[in-house]
Amino acid sequence: MRIATWNVNSITARLPRLLAWLESSGTDVLCIQEIKCAESAFPYEPLRELGYEAAVNATGRWNGVGVLSRVGLADVSPGLPGGPDYDGEQEPRAIAATCGAVRVQSVYVPNGREIGHPHYDYKLRWLEALRTSAAADAESGRPFAVLGDFNVAPADEDVWDPSFFEGLTHVTTKERDALAALRELGLSDVVPRPLKYDHPFTYWDYRELCFPKNRGMRIDLVYGNEPFAKAVGDAYVDREERKGKGASDHAPVVVDLDV
């Protein structure tokens, strides 16, 4: 089974590339983030024509997540149980589903904006709620993974220049401690370093030629429990999909499982 995660940065803008990538990559299950459309406007039919069912949690603003599957889609759970509000709303940043023998949770962790901002505290509370909600699936005995845009670089090696990020979010001790708390559930980062590239980044800002200069970050992650991690045969960042006209600012992260 081939499972992937991809922050598409607008399903509407990225649809032609998404459909082409699904056809060429052989992906069975795709967790997507930053859909940026209402659920009613989601392109279910073009995906269905390719053989994919879709479960979506989206409101049409700046967030939105989904799970696409051609191996079954059951026990769908939208939202983050116990998750915090922001500005009085529960943002659509999480959705879980069972796809064949595997349980997945697609997440789009809050950005945090800047240290000391209310959004930073919201991010930390959101990650704490994620840990609590993932605990039962992590210990269930079946393959389970949390996949998505975590907006946290796990280590200094996961950013192009650690000194550039001093005093900024995505690299703070509190954010990295939140990832460590997920690992304490028995979840592990199943995409190893190094891969094909010395720095397998997953995100490059559109500005200042960040992609050609490889000024990136590794913030799109796959955290799997022991049954999931043991089944991993290969993992890679599809850096080629970040190239060319109309690309997202994130690349897909792909994991092959023997289940």
Is 199 noted as a catalytic residue in this protein?
A: no
What is the DSSP code (8-state) at residue 85? Answer: P
What is the value of pTM for the model shown? 0.96
pLDDT-derived band at 197, boundaries 50, 70, 90: low
Four-residue CA torsion sign, 125, 130, 132, 133: positive
Q: What is the pLDDT of residue 181?
A: 97
Q: Which position has the higher pLDDT, 109 or 191?
A: 109
Catalytic residue among 52, 108, 122, 223: 108
Instruction: Tell me the average pLDDT across 14-41.
Output: 97
pLDDT at position 61, please? 79
How many C-alpha atoms does 7 have within 13 Å on its Cβ side?
Answer: 25
User: Which of 137, 149, 189, 220 is flagged as catalytic?
Assistant: 149
216 vs 109: CA distance, rounded Å: 18
Dump pLDDT digits (tens) for 94-132: 999 999 999 999 999 999 999 999 999 999 999 999 999
Is the domain 2-257 a CATH 3.10.450.50 member? Answer: no
Helical H segments across the chain, by residue range = 11-25, 44-49, 118-138, 173-183, 226-231
In the predicted structure, residue 196 carries a pLDDT above the cut 60: no
Question: 199 falls in which pLDDT band (50, 70, 90)?
Answer: low
Confidence of residue 192 (pLDDT cuts 50, 70, 90): confident
pLDDT of residue 198: 57
Residues at the binding site are 7, 34, 149, 151, 249-250
| Mean pLDDT of all residues in 2-21 | 98
pLDDT band at 242 (very low <50, low <70, confident <90, very high): very high
122 a catalytic residue: no
Q: What is the pLDDT of residue 62?
A: 85
pLDDT at 193: 63
Which of 103, 92, 90, 97 lies closest to 57, judged by CA? 92
Peptide bond between residue 194 and the one before it cis (omega within 30 degrees of 0)? yes
Q: For the chain, what is the mean pLDDT?
A: 95
pLDDT band at 178 (very low <50, low <70, confident <90, very high): very high
Question: DSSP string of 15-33?
Answer: HHHHHHHHHHHT-SEEEEE
149 included as an active-site residue? yes
Q: What single letter denotes the amino acid at residue 235?
A: A
Q: How large is the average pLDDT for residues 73-93?
A: 96
The candidate with the shortest Cα–Cα distance to 112, out of 156, 57, 58, 153, is 153
Average pLDDT over residues 184-188: 96
Provide the 8-state DSSP code for 210.
T
Q: Report pLDDT for 200.
A: 82
135, HSE (Cβ side, Cα atoms, 13 Å): 10
Query: Domain locations in the chain?
Result: 2-257
Annotated binding site for Mg(2+): 7, 34, 149, 151, 249-250
- For residue range 142-159, list pLDDT tens digits in order: 999 999 999 999 999 999
> Tokens 């190094």 belong to which residue?
194
Distance CA 253, CA 100 (A): 20
